[in-house]
Amino acid sequence: MSLINPTEFDDLITRHRQSSDILWALKTWHHPVFDNKEQSIKSTQLINKTTQISSIITPVHYKTLPRNSEQIKFDVLNSLAVKHTIDSLNIETAHGYDQAKAITQEMSHRLNIRTARFLAFIFAKIFNQVYDNIYIDHHGMDLIYQMYSLTPRNSSPALPSSPITISSTLFAILNTFSRSSSPSDDNLSMNTLPSPLTSKHYLTSPRIIYLPTHRSYMDFIILTYICFEYNIPMPCIAAAQDFLGLGLLANLLRNCGAFFIRRSFRSDLLYWTIFDEYVKTHVINGDYPIEFFIEGTRSRTLKTLLPVRQGMLKSCLECYFRRQVDNLILIPITINYEKVLEDNLHANELLGVPKPKESKGGLLKAAQILKKSFGKMIVRFSEPIYVHDAYEMFKLNDEKRTNDQPDAFNRSVPRTLQPRSICQQDAFTDAEQRFTDELSYRIVNEHQSLTVIYPITVAAFTFLSTSNNRSVSIDQLLTDKKTLFLDNTGVTEHFSSHYQISWPVENERNCLKQRLLTIYSDVFECTENNHLTLKMTGDRFVDAALLMKLFIYRNTCLHLFAKPAYILLVCQANSQVPISHEQLRMYYHFLIQLFAYEFVYDRFPTDDLNDKDFDQYLSHWIKVNYIIPLNNSTYKVNSQFRQQISLITSPFEQYARAYLLIYEQEYPSSETNLSLLIKIYQKALLSKLDTTNLISVLASSSNVISNALRTLNFNTKSKAYVDLRHLLTNLFQPMSTQLRAKL
Amino acid sequence: MATEGKGDTATTGTGSSTTIPLHRQELLKWQGWGYRDSRFFINSNGLIEFSGSRYLLSGHVLPRLKDWMFSKLNASIDNYSPSVQEPNPDYIPEPILNNSFINDFQSSLGSTVQYSSDMNDRLFHGHGHTLEEIWKLRHGGKFDRLPDWVVWPRNHNDVEKIVRLATKHNVCLIPFGGGTSVTWALLCPANEKRMIISVDTSQMNKILYLDEKNLTARIQSGIIGQDLERELAKKGYCTGHEPDSMEFSSLGGWVATRASGMKKNVYGNIEDLVVHVTMVTPKGTIEKSCLGPRQSIGPDINHVIMGSEGTLGIVTEVTMKIRPLPACKKYGSIVFPDFESGVACLREIARLRSAPASIRLLDNEQFLFGQALATDNKGMLHSLVDNMKKLYITKIKGFDVNRMCAATLLFEGTTNEVNQREKFVYDIAQKYNGMPAGEENGLKGYTLTFMIAYLRDVGLDYRIVAESFETSVPWDRVIDLCRNVKKRIITECEKNGVKYPPFSSCRVTQTYDAGACVYFYFVMNYNDIRAGSDPVHVYELVEQAAREEVLANGGSLSHHHGVGKIRTKWIKQAVSDLGVGTMKSIKEYLDPTNIFGSQNLIPDSEEVEKQHLKAKL
């Protein structure tokens, strides 16, 4: 853990405030890989001739790269995969192609630099307005530069990377109109590294896939914005089709590289083929990097979501498994917002207020937001994951794990036998599927490990640590921050040593207070003696939404504590009697499994069967004296540290109790559809909503309900249901009876 | 370099027509490739010259080669690392002798069959030509195990007697043909505790008879390629089987490894050429009883013999198709703007089944390397013409020197056929932006084939290691495979701390209806390698990674080199457990006591697997 060190970051806002936005938007920008390509007039003719002969071997010739969106569409429509699907679907060919055409039309992006410049200008204005700082991790940026074989920038963070002058601007304008003319004052001259990998023609651009976290609509824009800023190729972004409702804005997004895919289309083979081919053509030809959100949807809870939607990732990986590319580079990116643009919406949505339809009107309303301040945004890049290396490593480990003979009568068709140009939905072999699972878990975990902790997280922790804590002194915040992030680094750093704290000037009370009050003016107000008070209205739902907001900000750091805190939690719940080592471990594993959907751990919950972590956590708690080991290996919490312990365990206790509350609901056995089931539960819980009881608020969150129900694995429900309830009640026996009485 | 062989010949070593002497080291290098008198060296002018008089290049200076080596590979004249002159006698292990066998042999065969336990003979018969083997030889020849004896049978009967004796006295036999194996097939298993006898077939080198009505010939298996073609040519025939190693490799070796010849488009690969084959196994002699051209009598026994790599027995005689010598032979070449166009063109030619006798596509790296192999300037005019050509191609046609590549062609047949085919091929090439580049370049390309192996030796002198490997792959994967494997070689080198960029190159050497054969070259300068690394080990890691990449890309384990011992770890993956089991049970039936104990092809036992697993972990 460390404090945010501004020298490790570039601050875009400071940079932009020093120079002109319009000149910046019109600066020189060109593709580092393709713009340096020499193309004489004669050779262009050569290309045209080559592309006319539709060769089976090379559907896309390197000389036509990068393609514009029309060419990409053309390539997709004329791919063998689409042809094969249309043939196999038995639809009339002409009709099939019409359908396919309509689908690509709807899906396709129209990435072009002109719109990007326009949006860069608009958003430069907006960002300068709403954000104090946008920090970009420049180590991560340097790594990307290396991949593109560009000279790493050694600019000091305060200076713009390239001086924006009138002449360079004029050049840029000229460039916009004639892309092929190669600029002479190329400030991104190719590095002359000795490796043929960088100089040799057959090795084209690196296949980069950006995987940002998804917390806000802003995520769509920010990476493109950064790419423009740093002169690296702008990505194509996978977006859900709901955004098409935005009309003109959707078109703007399209022109910035967004392509739109339906939410669920597994049964529609033609759509699926086109989607698959569309993604693959980008990866295979490498003319544009791809960006998508591995969590599949915006995380309303600000918690990292389990990557359950693997369609995009699988399409990309398949290019590697088929060896159409020799490697893929995955770059997980964590975008840490101090205040999320739409935190109100998130809180309301969790409480069952439906997500407003994506519309222009909504966006205008959102424009009001732009008058407020949203603090900092910190963008951090994980170390790139090279898929080839990761897969080799996986195969090695896999060999160790499974030593059984394969069933000679139940073979999975190896990649080398599968046809390459046909799109098959279930082509993944067992090992590949397991690798995909592991990889996607690893990616979201990478996301988590780069979390930045803002003051609001600590404030939320404090406010929510006990029910009815409506007013808190600044000193209390500082004490709690110390407990959470300074005293127990032994366990939190076991999860990751990369998380950082962004704190206004160390221990400066006024600063901290001021910051919380200005950025979260809708949540806090200041009362005497340096106390922060929640702005409670008395309206049940409004207050619940406010509390929910605190819940979601607290969520941003829970993964750091989850596993170690389970141990404390179990000891604490049994504070009357000492608990045996055996039982402690049993409950520890039980909680890990219970919250397998709620929190993303540092490794697969099922992989965590050895007790190395457990022992380490336990010895840490003993070391800091929170837990006292008694004789015959039983354990007890140290009542001296009751306050600290309950601060740390409070979130998990609340989640556990919320689960219990949910499991205690009447269970409508007839319903089998998860989303409907959630609605039924939520309705029941909301009707009993009590804002003085935090657990009641938490249990009304659709996300918590859904996770609780998924834990039941809701097909084999009845038995698991009884078991879970039993264990949970056991754990919280004394209090849960009180609770029931209360309700 | 492609094959390894075994065979037998008629009477004693009088054969005036045979190239290879009884004691090979008298004519051939003991620690490198080819003839003793032919090698590249840096002459007094500081330029690389090829010595001897056997080849087109012999006696010529290659003025650009040294610059290429020094600039592309960062070699330097100071990093000279010559081979030892004589094998180190201390390194040669004491022979394990089976006295009862020796007594029996001397009493029954000793008068007619020559044998030797001389150190130099033993050393020569204990290796092939992979980099690891040559490396060991150049450092004195420290092998874990060498053959204890070498015998030279003269005919089928001698072989039968030897095998019978070996079976009786439990002696291990390893057949030896041309010694050109590149799969460790000739290495003696280190754990072999029995006496090992290398059965050198070089004296079984007679063409027994020609059957001009059926156009076949009965040939003893020890005959080497160049002798066979020369003898047949005297009578107006040829077999048309020309693997790159044909100067040294033997007919028996071709059969045992499923060899492939350059001109297979006209004449076929070895499996197409063989009509009948006789093999002596520990259980007796196995052969078919009919010369019918095609037979449906269960799985083909010839195919059990072909590719058995010396694990089942010794091939003694082969009936092989022969063809009248072609009336016309014409070379040609085409330049393409890039490798992709070249592959597309080859695919189209294969699709139309109009391939010339041989067509090979070199990638850009090899194309440029070929330029470096040009011989001494032949005068002003010549270089002027060359420059004009170059200007035309690069400036007017718009070819990029760093992308363009070339195909070399060889046409054979009647004059009419050749002319027609030539026009047809060039017309197709034109559609793919290919331009004919002259006969001379084609001829040069094919002579280069025989030089490659000699080049490795001069490379080794200057601390540069090199190796080639091959695969076959379906058409749709050719380009991806070539690119990925070439790239993997480079990245692996970087990963393993090789300081200078390696030369990583490929060429498409054969076209089939459903795919192509691809040959890779990998050259690495091991100067200033990361401290503590062993160059041969690094090289092995890179080669292994490259092979894994080939397999992952859908390439085969081998197109014609075979499996030997270098690739057994992948054979299960390649032919499935049941496939290996099938091979094993054939082996167990024909050779229950493992007389042919070279341990090629089939991973010997659980032991080997465990070792492999350990190595992997």
CA separation for the pair B596, B167 (Å, rounded): 10
Q: Indicate the annotated binding residues of B.
A: 175-181, 257-260, 309-315, 456
Q: For residue B461, is pLDDT > 80?
A: yes
- Contact between residue A295 and residue A214 where contact means Cβ atoms under 8 Å apart: yes
Residue B481 included in any domain: no
Please indicate, yes or no, whether residues B249 and B320 belong to a single structural domain of this protein: yes
Q: CB distance from B404 to chain A under 8 Å? A: no
Shortest alpha-carbon distance between residue B378 and chain A (Å): 32
Overall number of domains in chain B: 3
> Distance of CA B318 to CAs A48, B198, B220, B249, B543, Å?
53, 21, 6, 15, 35
Specify whether the backbone of B46 is left (phi greater than 0), alpha (psi in -120 to 50) or beta. Answer: left
Shortest alpha-carbon distance between residue B611 and chain A (Å): 15
- Contact between residue A464 and residue A551 where contact means Cβ atoms under 8 Å apart: yes
- Contact between residue B192 and residue B180 where contact means Cβ atoms under 8 Å apart: no
Residue B510 included in any domain: no
Reduce the DSSP state of residue B176 to 3 states and report it: strand
Q: CB distance from A326 to chain B under 8 Å? A: yes
3-state secondary structure A109-177: CCCCHHHHHHHHHHHHHHHHHHCCEEEEEHHHHHHHHHHCCECCCCCCCCCCCCCCCHHHHHHHHHHHH
> Distance of CA B220 to CAs B22, B164, B314, Å?
16, 20, 11
Residue B406 included in any domain: no
CA separation for the pair A633, A578 (Å, rounded): 9
CA separation for the pair A49, A42 (Å, rounded): 11
Within 162-221 of A, beta carbons closer than 8 Å to B belong to 194-197, 200-203
Please indicate, yes or no, whether residues B316 and B214 belong to a single structural domain of this protein: yes
- CB pair distance less than 8 Å for B487 and A203: yes
Residue B257 included in any domain: yes
Q: Indicate the annotated binding residues of B for FAD.
A: 175-181, 257-260, 309-315
Q: A199: nearest CA in chain B? A: B402
Interface test with A, best of B361, B362, B433, B525 (most A CBs within 10 A): B433
- Contact between residue A329 and residue A147 where contact means Cβ atoms under 8 Å apart: yes
> Distance of CA A42 to CAs A58, A93, B397, B400, Å?
21, 37, 7, 11
Nearest residue to A518 (alpha-carbon basis) of A373, A645, A678: A373
Identify the bridge partners of residue B521 per DSSP, sorted by sequence position.
Answer: B468, B505
Identify the bridge partners of residue A238 per DSSP, sorted by sequence position.
Answer: A259
Please indicate, yes or no, whether residues B129 and B184 belong to a single structural domain of this protein: yes
pLDDT in tens, B570-587: 999 899 889 999 999 999
Q: What is the pLDDT of residue A362?
A: 62
Please name the amino acid found at residue B299.
P
* Residue B131 lies in domain: 89-200
**Chain B contacts of A196, Cβ < 8 Å?**
490, 501, 504
Nearest residue to B179 (alpha-carbon basis) of B7, B359, B396: B7
Please indicate, yes or no, whether residues B112 and B190 belong to a single structural domain of this protein: yes
CA separation for the pair A459, A474 (Å, rounded): 9
**Chain A contacts of B343, Cβ < 8 Å?**
57-58
- CB pair distance less than 8 Å for A420 and B476: yes
CB neighbours (10 Å) of residue A619? 12
Q: For residue B472, is pLDDT > 70?
A: yes
Identify the bridge partners of residue A135 per DSSP, sorted by sequence position.
Answer: A11, A378
- CB pair distance less than 8 Å for A416 and B552: yes
Nearest residue to B247 (alpha-carbon basis) of B310, B179, B307, B185: B179
Indicate the helix (H) or strand (E) that contains B473: strand B464-474
- Contact between residue A304 and residue A559 where contact means Cβ atoms under 8 Å apart: yes
- CB pair distance less than 8 Å for B347 and A56: yes
CA separation for the pair A585, B505 (Å, rounded): 58
Please indicate, yes or no, whether residues B212 and B104 belong to a single structural domain of this protein: no
Interface test with B, best of A319, A326, A404 (most B CBs within 10 A): A326
Find the CATH number of the domain harbouring B34. Answer: 3.30.160.650
Which value, in Å, is the radius of gyration of the alpha carbons in chain B? 24
pLDDT in tens, A493-510: 777 777 788 877 766 778
Q: What is the pLDDT of residue A607?
A: 62
Q: What is the pLDDT of residue A152?
A: 63
- CB pair distance less than 8 Å for A203 and B483: yes
CA separation for the pair A7, A5 (Å, rounded): 5
Q: B483: nearest CA in chain A? A: A202
Of the three residues B200, B229, B252, the one that is the final residue of a domain is B200
Q: For residue B7, is pLDDT > 50?
A: no
CA separation for the pair A198, A209 (Å, rounded): 19
Q: What is the ipTM of this complex?
A: 0.88
CA separation for the pair B521, B507 (Å, rounded): 8
Q: Kindly give, in sequence order, each residue whose CB lies less than 8 Å from that of residue A83, ignoring residues fewer than 6 positions away.
A: none
Q: CB distance from B341 to chain A under 8 Å? A: yes
Residue B225 included in any domain: yes
* Residue numbers in chain A where pLDDT is lower than 50: 39-40, 52, 55-56, 155-163, 176-194, 201, 715, 734, 736-743
Burial of B610 (0-12, 13-18, 19+ CB in 10 A): exposed
Q: A200: nearest CA in chain B? A: B402
Please indicate, yes or no, whether residues B188 and B96 belong to a single structural domain of this protein: yes
Give me the residue label for tokens 């480990």: A397
Shortest alpha-carbon distance between residue B340 and chain A (Å): 7
- CB pair distance less than 8 Å for A326 and B488: yes
**Chain B contacts of A201, Cβ < 8 Å?**
338, 364, 400, 402-403
Q: For residue B514, is pLDDT > 90?
A: yes
Please indicate, yes or no, whether residues B226 and B177 belong to a single structural domain of this protein: no
Nearest residue to A595 (alpha-carbon basis) of A570, A559, A628: A559
β A376-381/A133-137 pair status: parallel
Residue B258 included in any domain: yes
Instruction: Please spell the DSSP secondary structure of A324-348, one letter per residue.
Output: SSS--EEEEEEEEESS-TTHHHHHH
- Contact between residue B559 and residue B270 where contact means Cβ atoms under 8 Å apart: no
Q: Kindly give, in sequence order, each residue whose CB lies less than 8 Å from that of residue A20, ignoring residues fewer than 6 positions away.
A: A164
Residues of B known to be catalytic: 519
β B207-211/B196-200 pair status: unpaired
- Contact between residue A710 and residue A563 where contact means Cβ atoms under 8 Å apart: no
- CB pair distance less than 8 Å for A46 and B480: no
For chain B, what percent of residues have pLDDT higher than 70?
94
Instruction: Report CA dihedral (A350, A351, A354, A356) to the nearest 10 degrees.
Output: -70
> Distance of CA A8 to CAs A5, A379, A493, B253, Å?
6, 11, 20, 65
CA separation for the pair A637, A575 (Å, rounded): 6
CA separation for the pair A45, B397 (Å, rounded): 10
Nearest residue to A456 (alpha-carbon basis) of A528, A505, A504: A504
> Distance of CA B29 to CAs B35, B60, B124, Å?
6, 21, 9
Q: CB distance from B397 to chain A under 8 Å? A: yes
Residue B568 included in any domain: no
Give the A:B interface size as CB pairs under 8 Å.
102
Find the CATH number of the domain harbouring B219. Answer: 3.30.465.10
- CB pair distance less than 8 Å for B396 and A42: yes
Helices (H) and strands (E) in chain B, counts: 19, 21
Shortest alpha-carbon distance between residue B485 and chain A (Å): 8
CA separation for the pair A441, A294 (Å, rounded): 10
**Chain B contacts of A42, Cβ < 8 Å?**
396-398
Residue B387 included in any domain: no
β A452-453/A500-501 pair status: parallel
Please indicate, yes or no, whether residues B93 and B70 belong to a single structural domain of this protein: no
**Confidence tier at B11 by pLDDT (50, 70, 90):** very low
- Contact between residue A12 and residue A212 where contact means Cβ atoms under 8 Å apart: no
CA separation for the pair A477, B371 (Å, rounded): 75
Shortest alpha-carbon distance between residue A399 and chain B (Å): 9
CA quadruple A551, A554, A560, A563: dihedral positive or negative?
A: negative
Mark out the alpha helices in A30-132 (DSSP H runs). 41-52, 69-77, 80-88, 93-107, 113-130
Find the CATH number of the domain harbouring B179. Answer: 3.30.43.10
- Contact between residue A334 and residue A292 where contact means Cβ atoms under 8 Å apart: no
Please indicate, yes or no, whether residues B100 and B53 belong to a single structural domain of this protein: no
- Confidence (pTM): 0.88
Please indicate, yes or no, whether residues B158 and B191 belong to a single structural domain of this protein: yes
Q: A398: nearest CA in chain B? A: B617
Burial of B135 (0-12, 13-18, 19+ CB in 10 A): middle
Domains of chain A: 68-150+216-359+366-404+427-447 (3.40.1130), 452-556 (no CATH), 560-732 (no CATH)
Mark out the alpha helices in B515-570 (DSSP H runs). 535-552
Of the three residues B167, B200, B233, the one that is the final residue of a domain is B200
Shortest alpha-carbon distance between residue B383 and chain A (Å): 26
Helix axes A311-321, A269-285, angle to 10 degrees: 50
What's the token pair of residue A550?
A: 């605190």
Please name the amino acid found at residue B57.
L
Check residue B472 and report its DSSP letter: E
Please indicate, yes or no, whether residues B47 and B107 belong to a single structural domain of this protein: no
β B274-281/B237-238 pair status: unpaired
Identify the bridge partners of residue A137 per DSSP, sorted by sequence position.
Answer: A9
Between B617 and B86, the more confident residue is B86
Q: Which of A528-542, B158-172, B328-342, B557-571 has the lowest mean pLDDT?
A: A528-542
Of the three residues B147, B179, B200, the one that is the final residue of a domain is B200
pLDDT in tens, A538-588: 788 888 888 899 899 999 888 888 888 888 888 887 777 788 888 888 888
Q: What is the pLDDT of residue B212?
A: 93
What's the token pair of residue B122?
A: 């033993």
CB nearest A323 (choices: B491, B504, B553): B553
